[in-house]
C-alpha cells in the first residue's frame, strides 16, 4: 500500500554543525577518562573492590550496547517497518561495541582479584574447579573474549556501514542483504552474549551455576537498551532533531517494548530465583544465600519493586508512554535499576557483609557510561540521523498505532 | 495508492517479498463480500461425504479413547506401563504434549495481535479453536491419571468437613489453576472474536433453527459503531490478559519438573525453554491442520502461502531456541561439576533411551533447519511433512525428560526400563480422536477464518484506500506531506470495493447486511465511508 508522506530532506536529517550533541564526544570523553582515572586513585589500593566496581560498570555499558545490537538485528530479521526512523539511533548505540574490547584490558589485569579460579594453587585443591579447568582457564577465557569482541565488532560495524551505504545507494538490495545476514548474526549473538555472561558474571562464583544465566543477562541488556533508545530519541527531539519524523506513535511503541521486556526480565529473574529456592539444593542456593544478608537482602527487595513493580504499573497505560517527560522518566528509571541489578550480581562477591557503596562505584559507572555516550554521540554525527533511503522509511513515517 | 483497486494479487506477488510495500494477505481479487462467501460456504452447504468420513474416522479413534479410559477407570492405573521408579509415564507426557500444542493459538491471537502482525487474521480462528481442543485433551490426562477420578474435585479448594485442602505448595495444584484459567480465557477470547462472524452466519441462515442458534450466540450483534467500539476494547483487553498466560501456563507446567531435585528435571532454564517448545509444537500442529484445510475448503486465497511461510519461520526460530536450551542444559550439566547431573545427560544421549533422545534432536533441532531454504518454507506438502516431524519430536522431548530421568534415579538397584502397554497407546492415540472430532465439528459449524478480522487487513479497509472520500484528505504525517489531490478527486463511486467480486469465486449471494456493516466500521472513524 502506498503511504502518503513526503520524505524529509537530506538537510533536515543531518546533525547541524553547531549542535550541542557535536560537543558530546569531547565533553563525555574527557569526563569518562577522568572518572576512570580518578576511580583508580579513589580506590586507594583496594584493588579487589576497584575491579569489582569496574566490572559492574563494564557489564552495564556493554549490556546496553549489546541490547542495541540485538534491536538492530531483530528489526532486519523481522522486516520491521515501524522502527526505521529510530533504527539509526540504535545503530549508533551499538557502534561503540569495539571500545569494550579496550575497556576489557583492565579486567585482564584484575583477573586474580575477580576470579579465584585463576588461582591454580587454589584450583589444585578444589575437585569441582579442577573438573571445570577445561573451560575455566585463563588461556581459553581470553580466546573466548577475543571471539566475542571479534564477532560483536564485526556485526556492529557491518550492519551500521551497510545501513549508511543505503543512505546513498537506496534500493532494496541492501535491505535484503541485511535481512539475510541478520539471521546468522542473531544466532552468533545468542551464543556470545550467553557465554560472555557466564565468563564474566557467573564465574565470579565458579562453584555456582544456572542454565538461565545467559538469558538473565540478555533480559537486562535488552530492556535497558530499549530504555536507552527511548531516552536518546526523546533527548534528540527536545534538542530540535527528528522533528515530525519520530512521532508519538513511535514513542508509544518503544514504551511498549520497555514495558514488555521489564516483564520479561521479571519473568526470567523470578523463574531463576524461584526454582533455586524451591529445590533448595546447597550448590545452587549459595548464590542467593550470599545475597540474603543485611543490606543485600534489602537491595534484592528493592529490585523486585524498582525493576518490576513500579515500572510495571507506570508503563502499563498508554498515556504515560506518550508524554515525553514521563517516558523519559521511565527509561532513566529502568537504566538505573539495570545498573543496580548488575551491582547485585557482582558486588556481593567482594562486600560480603552488606552494601558498601563508595565513590569508586560511582566513578567507574559514570566513567564507562560517559565513554560509551561519547562514542555513540560521535557516531551520531557521522551519518544521517535516519536511514533516509530505506525502502520502508515511508511506512515508518506514516506509522500509526491503532 | 500505488496499485489500482481492481488488482488481483497472486502467490507470485507474495513470494516476490516486496521490501518497499507489504505483501498482500488476501489473494485472488477477493473483496469483502467474496471473503464472506468463501468462508461461509463451508458452513452453509450440505456436508460433503468427505466430511462425514473424517468425522467417522475421528469418532472411531475417540471410541478407542473411550474404551481405554473406561478400562483404566475400572481397573486402575496399573493397566499402564508404570513401574517403580517410573511413576509418571505417558499420561504426563501426553498432558504436556497437548498443553504445549495449545500455546500456538493464544500466541497467534493475543501476542501477534499486540504486535500488529496482520497475517495472524487468516489463521487465528482455527488456531484458537485448536488451542481449546488441545486444552481439553490435555486436561483429560491429569484427570484420568489421578486414578480415582470421582475424587477429582479434591483439587479444587472447597471448604469441607475433613478440613482437607489441596497442597498449595504442589506444582500440580498450580497446574490445575493455570490450565483452567488458560482454558477459560482462551474460550472467552475466541468467543469474543466470533461474535461479529456469528451475526453474519445468523443473517445468512436459511432455516429458523440456525437463525435462532446463531442469533443466540451472536448476542444481538447489529454491527453498530457502538458495538464495534466495545468489541475492540474487549478484544484488546482480553489479548492483554491472554498474553501473560501464554508464558505462565507452560512455565508452570515446567515447574512440575523443575521444582524437584531430580537431575535432568531441575534446571533454571526450564520455564522459557518450555514456552519456546510449546510455541514450536503448537505451530507444528497449526501447520498440520492448515495445509490440508486450505486445500480441502478452498481457502488458499485467505490462508496463503505467505501465512505458511511465516509459520515456518516461527517454527525455525522456536526450534533454534529449543536447540539452544538443549545445548545450554548439556553444557551446564558438565560445567556444574555435579556427577549426578552429568550422568543424567550422558544417560539421555547414550543410555537405554538414546533412541528417543536422538529422535527428539533430529525432529526438533535438525528438521526445522530445512526452513532456511525458501523452497522448504513455501511448498505445502513439504511443510506438512516437517510439521509432522515437529509433532513427533515434541512428544519425544517430553518422553525423554519424564522417562529418562525417572528410570535411572538415585538408587541403582531400583532402576527400571519403562515400556508402555496397549492401554497407554490406546489413551494417546485415542486422544487424537477427541481432538479431531472436536476440530471436525468446528469446521462444520463455525466460520473457520475470522471474517471481520481478515477484512480489516484488506486494502479496502484502509481509510486512505482509493475510492473513499477523505474528508479533509489529510495524510498520516500532517507536517511533512501535502494533501494528495489525485486522491481527493478520485471517483469513489465507480471504484467502490463493494461491487461484484473480481474473481469468479462466488456463486449466488443472499443479502449480507451484517457483513456490510462490519466492513464499514472496520474502516475507522465514522464519516469516512460512503
Residue range A4-14: average pLDDT? 83
Give the integer Cα–Cα distance in Å for B511 and B530: 19
Contact call for A5 and B324, based on CB within 8 A = no
Cell numbers at B160, concatenated: 469441607
Give the integer Cα–Cα distance in Å for A198 and A217: 9
Give the integer Cα–Cα distance in Å for B187 and B194: 10
Q: How confident is the model at residue B382 (pLDDT cuts 50, 70, 90)?
A: very high
Q: Is A33 a residue whose pLDDT tops 50?
A: yes
Contact call for A79 and B19, based on CB within 8 A = yes
**Chain A residues inside the 8 Å CB shell of B332:** 209-211
Q: Is B527 a residue whose pLDDT tops 60?
A: no
The domain ranges of chain A are 11-119+134-397
Measured between CA atoms, how close is B269 to chain A, in angstroms?
4
Contact call for A81 and B476, based on CB within 8 A = no
Q: How confident is the model at residue B506 (pLDDT cuts 50, 70, 90)?
A: very low
Measured between CA atoms, how close is A304 to chain B, in angstroms?
18
Residue range B455-475: average pLDDT? 63
Give the integer Cα–Cα distance in Å for A209 and B269: 11
Contact call for B269 and A397, based on CB within 8 A = no
Contact call for B481 and A4, based on CB within 8 A = yes
Q: Is B511 a residue whose pLDDT tops 70?
A: no
Which one of B260, B464, B477 has the shortest CB-CB distance to A397? B477
Q: Is B61 a residue whose pLDDT tops 90?
A: yes
pLDDT at B525: 38
The CA distances from residue B390 to B34, B290, B401, in Å, are 35, 15, 17
Q: Is B502 a residue whose pLDDT tops 90?
A: no
The CA distances from residue A275 to A279, B111, B167, B252, B329, in Å, are 6, 26, 18, 11, 15
Higher-scoring residue by pLDDT: B487, A132: A132
Which of B372, B476, B482, B522 best probes binding to A when mutated, by most A CB atoms within 10 angstroms?
B476
Higher-scoring residue by pLDDT: A161, B15: A161
Measured between CA atoms, how close is A371 to chain B, in angstroms?
33
Q: Write the CB contacts of B331 (distance below 8 Å, at least 6 apart in sequence).
A: none
Measured between CA atoms, how close is A126 to chain B, in angstroms?
11
Q: Is B500 a residue whose pLDDT tops 50?
A: no
pLDDT at A4: 65
Contact call for B269 and A131, based on CB within 8 A = no
Which of A163, A187, A202, A212 best probes binding to B when mutated, by most B CB atoms within 10 angstroms?
A212
pLDDT at B478: 35
B11 Cα distance to chain centroid:
24
**Chain B residues inside the 8 Å CB shell of A209:** 332, 335-336
A118-132, B148-162, B416-430, range with the lowest pLDDT:
B148-162
Contact call for A194 and B328, based on CB within 8 A = yes
pLDDT at B466: 65
Residue range B162-186: average pLDDT? 89
Which of B2, B172, B336, B341 best probes binding to A when mutated, by most A CB atoms within 10 angstroms?
B336
Which one of B3, B21, B336 has the shortest CB-CB distance to A209? B336
Give the integer Cα–Cα distance in Å for A352 and B72: 57
Tell me the residue length of chain B: 530
Q: What is the dihedral of CA B181, B182, B186, B192, to 10 degrees?
A: 30
CB B420 within 8 A of CB B68: no
Q: Is A271 a residue whose pLDDT tops 50?
A: yes
Q: Which residue of A has its CA nearest to B477?
A: A398
Q: Return the axis-axis angle of helices B339-350 and B305-335, rounded to nearest 10°.
A: 130
Residue range B444-472: average pLDDT? 76
**Chain A residues inside the 8 Å CB shell of B464:** 4
Which one of A2, A194, A283 has the shortest CB-CB distance to B2? A2
CB B179 within 8 A of CB B135: yes
Q: Which residue of B has its CA nearest to A272?
A: B268
CB B277 within 8 A of CB B318: yes
**Chain B residues inside the 8 Å CB shell of A237:** none
Measured between CA atoms, how close is A279 to chain B, in angstroms?
5
Residue range B178-191: average pLDDT? 92
Q: Is B310 a residue whose pLDDT tops 70?
A: yes
Q: How confident is the model at residue B469 (pLDDT cuts 50, 70, 90)?
A: very low
pLDDT at A3: 56
Please write the tens of the pLDDT for every residue from A58-90: 999 999 999 999 999 999 999 888 999 999 999
pLDDT at A402: 66
Q: How confident is the model at residue B116 (pLDDT cuts 50, 70, 90)?
A: confident
Which of B269, B326, B330, B377 best probes binding to A when mutated, by most A CB atoms within 10 angstroms?
B269
Q: Which residue of B has its CA nearest to A274?
A: B259
pLDDT at A150: 96
How many contacts, defined by CB atoms under 8 Å, are there between A and B? 129
Q: Is B124 a residue whose pLDDT tops 70?
A: yes
Domains of chain B and any CATH numbers: 32-456 (1.20.1630.10)
H/E/C letters for each residue in A51-102?
Answer: HHHHHHHHHHHHHHHHHHHHHHHHHHHCCCCCCHHHHHHHHHHHCCCCHHHH
CB atoms within 10 A of CB A237: 17
Contact call for B464 and A128, based on CB within 8 A = no
* B464 close contact with A: CB closer than 8 A: yes
Give the integer Cα–Cα distance in Å for B100 and B396: 13
**Chain B residues inside the 8 Å CB shell of A400:** 476
* B482 close contact with A: CB closer than 8 A: yes
**Chain A residues inside the 8 Å CB shell of B337:** 127-129, 131-132, 207
DSSP string, A155-173: HHHHHHHHHHHHHHH-SSH
Q: Which residue of B has its CA nearest to A133?
A: B335
* B21 close contact with A: CB closer than 8 A: yes
Amino acid at each position: 500500500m502506498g503511504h502518503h508522506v513526503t520524505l524529509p530532506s537530506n538537510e533536515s536529517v543531518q546533525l547541524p554543525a553547531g549542535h550541542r550533541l557535536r560537543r558530546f564526544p569531547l565533553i563525555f570523553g574527557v569526563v569518562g577518562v577522568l572518572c576512570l582515572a580518578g576511580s583508580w586513585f579513589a580506590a586507594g589500593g583496594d584493588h579487589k573492590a576497584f575491579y569489582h566496581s569496574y566490572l559492574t560498570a563494564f557489564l552495564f555499558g556493554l549490556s546496553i550496547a549489546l541490547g542495541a545490537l540485538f534491536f538492530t538485528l531483530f528489526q532486519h530479521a523481522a522486516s520491521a517497518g515501524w522502527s526505521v526512523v529510530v533504527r539509526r539511533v540504535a545503530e549508533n548505540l551499538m557502534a561503540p561495541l569495539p571500545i569494550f574490547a579496550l575497556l576489557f584490558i583492565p579486567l585482564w589485569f584484575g583477573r586474580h582479584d575477580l576470579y579465584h579460579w585463576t588461582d591454580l594453587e587454589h584450583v589444585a585443591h578444589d575437585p569441582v574447579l579442577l573438573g571445570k579447568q577445561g573451560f575455566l582457564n585463563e588461556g581459553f577465557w581470553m580466546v573466548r573474549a577475543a571471539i566475542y569482541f571479534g564477532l560483536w565488532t564485526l556485526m556492529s560495524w557491518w550492519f551500521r556501514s551497510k545501513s549508511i551505504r543505503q543512505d546513498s545507494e537506496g534500493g532494496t538490495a541492501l535491505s535484503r542483504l541485511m535481512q539475510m545476514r541478520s539471521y546468522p548474526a542473531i544466532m552468533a549473538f545468542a551464543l556470545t552474549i550467553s557465554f560472555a555472561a557466564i565468563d564474566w558474571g557467573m564465574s565470579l562464583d565458579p562453584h555456582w551455576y544456572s542454565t538461565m544465566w545467559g538469558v538473565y543477562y540478555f533480559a537486562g541488556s535488552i530492556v535497558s537498551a530499549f530504555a536507552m533508545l527511548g531516552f536518546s530519541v526523546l533527548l534528540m527531539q527536545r534538542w530540535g532533531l527528528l522533528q515530525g519524523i519520530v512521532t508519538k506513535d513511535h514513542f508509544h511503541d518503544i514504551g511498549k517494548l520497555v514495558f514488555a521486556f521489564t516483564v520479561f526480565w521479571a519473568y526470567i529473574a523470578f523463574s531463576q530465583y524461584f526454582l533455586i529456592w524451591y529445590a533448595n539444593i546447597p550448590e545452587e542456593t549459595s548464590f542467593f544465600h550470599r545475597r540474603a544478608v543485611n543490606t543485600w537482602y534489602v537491595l534484592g527487595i528493592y529490585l523486585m519493586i524498582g525493576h518490576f513493580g513500579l515500572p510495571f504499573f507506570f508503563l502499563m497505560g498508554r498515556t504515560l508512554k506518550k508524554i515525553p517527560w514521563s517516558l523519559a522518566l521511565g527509561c532513566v528509571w529502568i537504566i538505573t535499576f539495570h545498573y543496580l541489578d548488575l551491582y547485585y550480581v557482582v558486588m556481593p562477591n567482594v562486600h560480603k557483609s552488606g552494601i558498601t557503596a563508595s565513590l569508586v562505584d560511582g566513578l567507574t559507572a559514570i566513567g564507562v557510561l560517559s565513554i560509551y555516550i561519547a562514542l555513540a554521540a560521535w557516531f551520531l554525527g557521522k551519518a544521517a540521523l535516519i536511514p533516509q533511503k530505506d525502502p520502508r522509511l515511508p511506512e515508518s513515517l506514516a506509522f500509526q498505532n491503532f | 495508492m500505488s496499485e489500482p483497486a481492481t488488482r488481483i494479487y497472486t502467490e507470485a506477488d507474495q513470494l516476490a517479498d516486496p521490501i518497499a510495500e507489504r505483501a498482500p494477505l488476501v489473494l485472488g481479487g477477493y473483496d469483502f463480500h467474496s471473503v464472506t462467501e468463501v468462508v461461509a460456504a463451508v458452513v452453509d452447504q450440505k456436508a460433503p461425504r468427505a466430511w462425514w468420513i473424517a468425522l467417522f474416522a475421528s469418532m472411531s479413534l475417540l471410541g478407542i479413547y473411550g474404551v481405554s479410559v473406561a478400562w483404566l477407570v475400572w481397573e486402575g492405573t496399573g493397566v499402564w506401563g508404570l513401574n517403580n521408579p517410573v511413576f509418571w509415564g505417558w499420561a504426563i507426557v501426553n498432558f504436556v504434549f497437548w498443553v504445549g500444542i495449545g500455546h500456538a493459538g493464544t500466541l497467534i491471537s493475543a501476542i501477534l495481535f499486540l504486535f500488529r502482525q496482520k497475517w495472524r487474521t487468516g489463521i487465528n480462528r482455527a488456531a484458537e479453536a485448536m488451542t481449546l481442543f488441545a486444552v481439553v485433551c490435555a486436561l483429560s490426562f491429569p484427570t484420568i491419571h489421578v486414578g480415582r477420578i470421582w475424587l477429582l474435585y479434591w483439587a479444587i479448594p472447597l471448604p469441607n468437613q475433613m478440613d482437607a485442602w489441596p497442597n498449595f505448595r504442589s506444582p500440580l495444584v498450580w497446574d490445575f489453576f493455570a490450565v483452567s484459567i488458560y482454558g477459560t480465557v482462551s474460550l472467552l477470547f475466541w468467543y469474543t472474536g466470533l461474535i461479529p462472524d456469528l451475526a453474519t452466519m445468523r443473517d445468512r441462515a436459511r432455516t429458523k433453527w440456525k437463525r435462532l442458534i446463531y442469533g443466540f450466540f451472536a448476542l444481538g450483534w447489529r454491527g453498530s459503531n457502538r458495538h464495534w467500539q466495545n468489541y475492540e476494547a474487549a478484544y484488546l483487553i482480553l489479548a492483554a490478559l491472554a498474553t501473560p498466560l501464554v508464558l505462565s501456563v507452560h512455565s508452570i507446567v515446567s515447574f512440575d519438573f523443575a521444582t524437584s531435585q531430580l537431575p535432568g528435571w531441575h534446571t533454571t532454564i526450564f520455564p522459557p525453554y518450555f514456552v519456546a517448545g510449546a510455541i514450536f509444537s503448537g505451530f507444528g500442529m497449526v501447520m498440520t491442520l492448515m495445509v490440508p484445510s486450505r486445500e480441502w475448503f478452498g481457502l488458499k486465497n485467505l490462508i496463503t502461502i505467505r501465512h505458511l511461510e511465516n509459520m515456518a519461520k516461527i517454527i525455525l526460530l522456536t526450534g533454534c531456541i529449543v536447540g539452544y536450551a538443549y545445548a545450554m542444559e548439556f553444557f551446564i550439566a558438565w560445567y556444574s561439576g555435579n556427577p549426578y547431573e552429568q550422568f543424567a545427560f550422558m544417560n539421555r544421549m547414550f543410555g537405554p533411551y538414546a533412541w528417543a533422545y536422538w529422535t527428539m534432536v533430529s525432529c526438533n533441532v535438525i528438521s526445522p533447519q530445512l526452513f532456511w531454504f525458501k523452497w522448504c518454507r513455501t511448498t505445502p506438502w513439504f511443510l506438512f511433512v516437517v510439521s509432522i516431524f515437529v509433532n513427533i519430536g515434541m512428544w519425544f522431548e517430553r518422553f525423554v525428560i519424564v522417562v529418562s530421568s525417572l528410570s535411572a534415579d538415585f538408587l541403582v538397584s531400583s532402576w527400571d526400563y519403562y515400556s508402555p502397554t496397549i492401554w497407554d497407546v490406546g489413551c494417546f492415540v485415542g486422544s487424537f480422536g477427541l481432538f479431531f472430532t472436536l476440530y471436525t465439528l468446528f469446521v462444520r459449524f463455525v466460520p473457520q477464518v475470522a471474517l471481520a478480522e481478515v477484512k480489516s487487513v484488506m486494502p479496502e479497509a484502509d481509510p486512505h484506500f482509493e475510492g473513499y472520500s477523505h474528508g479533509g484528505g489529510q495524510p498520516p504525517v500532517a507536517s511533512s506531506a501535502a494533501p494528495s489531490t489525485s486522491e481527493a478527486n478520485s471517483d469513489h463511486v465507480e471504484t467502490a470495493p463493494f461491487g461484484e467480486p473480481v474473481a469468479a469465486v462466488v456463486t449466488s449471494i443472499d443479502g449480507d447486511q451484517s457483513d456490510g456493516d462490519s466492513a464499514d466500521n472496520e474502516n475507522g472513524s465514522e464519516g469516512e465511508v460512503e
